[in-house]
Amino acid sequence: MPHYHGKIDSKLPHVGTTIFTVMSRLAVEHDAINLSQGFPDFDCAPELLELVTKYLGAGLNQYPPMAGVPVLREAIAEKVEALYGASYDPEHEITVIPGATYGIYTAVAAMVRPGDEVILCEPAYDSYAPSVEVNGGTPVYVQLTFPDYAIDWPAMQQAISPRTRMIIINTPNNPTASVFSAEDLRMLDALLAGTNIVVVADEVYEHIVFDGHAHQSVARFPRLAERSFIVSSFGKTYHVTGWKMGYVVAPRELMNEFRKVHQFNVFVANGPIQYALAEYMKNKDAYLALAQFYQRKRDFFLERIKGSRFKPLPSRGTFFQNLRYDAISDERDTDLAVRLTREYGIASIPVSVFYREPPAHRVLRFCFAKSEATLASGAEILRRI
C-alpha cells in the first residue's frame, strides 16, 4: 500500500468524518434502528423507477447539456412560478446539479474569496462551514435562539461587516426543524438592502412544512430573490437521496458565475434521470402531498413516544424530530447517542455537533422518514429509556 511521506498542510485541519456517516455506520454495526442520518427507509414511487428505466433505454446516455436538460429546467421554472410567484428563465437562471450539497458548495466557490466572511446560523448544517473554509472564506456565526431556534435579528445585524460576502440560510431548517416566517424574510430583506451580500437559500425541505403553514421561499420576496441562489434537492422530495439530484435557481448574473464553476466542477448531472424527473414533475401531487405525508409520520412518532422521558421540541418542517433528554441523563449528547445505539439499539444524531462549542441544552435529533413499523419499534425503545 503506498503512503504519502510529504507534509500535508490540510486546508480543513479540524474536519473529521461527517456525523451522518459515523452514526449510520454505528447503527449497522450494532444492528440498531437507524433514526440518525436523514434518509427514507422506504422506496420511491414505482412510476418514477419506470420512468428512469424508460429513459435509460432511450439512447440518452451521453452528456446532457451543461445546465441540465431543457424539459427539466422548464418543469422547474413552472413549479417555482406556480408555488412562489417568481419567474426564472430556464435558459439562463436554472441549473440542474448533482445534489444540494454540490449546489451550496459551487455557489460558495463561485462567490467567496479568501478573506470574505460568510454568515451562518448556528446550529448549521455540517457542509456549510467546510465549503466556506476550503474556499478561503471565514464563517461568522449567529446563534439561533433556544428552544425556538428562531433568528436573533439584532445579532444578525451585528454580524454583518464590510467583509460579509454571503449569508447561508436554511428553511425548513436542519437540524432544528424550525421554519422561517414571512416576517423573518422581510427582516433579512431589509437588512441586506443596499449591500452586495448574496444569499444562499438552502430550501431542500421546501415541500415539508407542517400544520398548514406555507414554505417561505426567498423566491417569494422579489428584492431578496435578486441576490439569492436557491438550492433544492430531488432526493428529499422524491425519496431518492442516493441519486444525488437537485437544482439551483438564481438571477442570470449570479447564475453566470455559478455555471463558470459548475462546468469544471462536474460539468453535468446524470442525464437519463433528468428526463425521468422532468416527466415525473408533471404529477404535482407527488410534491404537494409531501407535507401531509411527513406530518402523519411526525404525529405517529410523537404519539408512540408518549409516556417516554424524552421531551419533544417543536418540529415545524423537515423530517426530523428533536428530543430533549434532561430527565434521563446529564451525559453529553455525543456520548448518549453512541450509548443508545450500543446499549438500546437506537441511533440518533447529537445536535451539538452542528455547533462549534456544545451548547448548554441537550438534544438528540431523530429522523422520522421511516415506515410506521420502524417508527413504532424505535418509539418502543425510547419509551424504555
The binding site for ligand GLN (CB under 6 A) comprises: 18, 20, 37-38, 174
Least distance to ligand GLN from the beta carbon of 84, Å? Answer: 23
Among all chains, which residue has been given the C-alpha cell 425556538?
Answer: 148
Binder of residue 374, out of ligand PMP, ligand GLN, none (CB less than 5 to 8 A by kind): none
Binder of residue 293, out of ligand GLN, ligand PMP, none (CB less than 5 to 8 A by kind): none
Least distance to ligand PMP from the beta carbon of 341, Å? Answer: 20
Using CB under 6 A, count the residues that bind ligand PMP.
Answer: 13
All cell numbers assigned to 134: 476550503
Q: 157 — phi, psi (to 5°)?
A: -60, -40
Out of 125, 247, 301, 310, which residue is the one contacting ligand PMP (CB under 6 A)? 125
Out of 68, 137, 246, 272, which residue is the one contacting ligand PMP (CB under 6 A)? 246
Out of 120, 156, 204, 218, which residue is the one contacting ligand PMP (CB under 6 A)? 204
Query: Measured between alpha carbons, how far is 318 from 321 in angstroms, rounded to an integer?
Result: 9
Q: Are the CB atoms for 365 and 355 separated by under 8 Å? A: no
Out of 24, 34, 95, 101, which residue is the one contacting ligand PMP (CB under 6 A)? 101
Out of 24, 135, 174, 217, which residue is the one contacting ligand PMP (CB under 6 A)? 174
Binder of residue 319, out of ligand GLN, ligand PMP, none (CB less than 5 to 8 A by kind): none
Least distance to ligand GLN from the beta carbon of 38, Å? Answer: 3
Least distance to ligand PMP from the beta carbon of 170, Å? Answer: 5
170 makes contact with ligand PMP (CB under 6 A):
yes
Least distance to ligand PMP from the beta carbon of 40, Å? Answer: 12
137-166 residues near ligand PMP, rule: CB under 6 A: none
Q: Are the CB atoms for 123 and 351 separated by under 8 Å? A: yes
Binder of residue 123, out of ligand PMP, ligand GLN, none (CB less than 5 to 8 A by kind): none
322 makes contact with ligand PMP (CB under 6 A):
no
Binder of residue 37, out of ligand GLN, ligand PMP, none (CB less than 5 to 8 A by kind): ligand GLN
Binder of residue 247, out of ligand PMP, ligand GLN, none (CB less than 5 to 8 A by kind): none
Indicate the residue among 19 and 75 with the shorter CB distance to ligand GLN: 19
Binder of residue 334, out of ligand GLN, ligand PMP, none (CB less than 5 to 8 A by kind): none
Indicate the residue among 123 and 272 with the shorter CB distance to ligand GLN: 123
Contact residues for ligand PMP, defined by CB under 6 A? 38, 99-101, 125, 170, 174, 202, 204, 233, 235, 241, 246
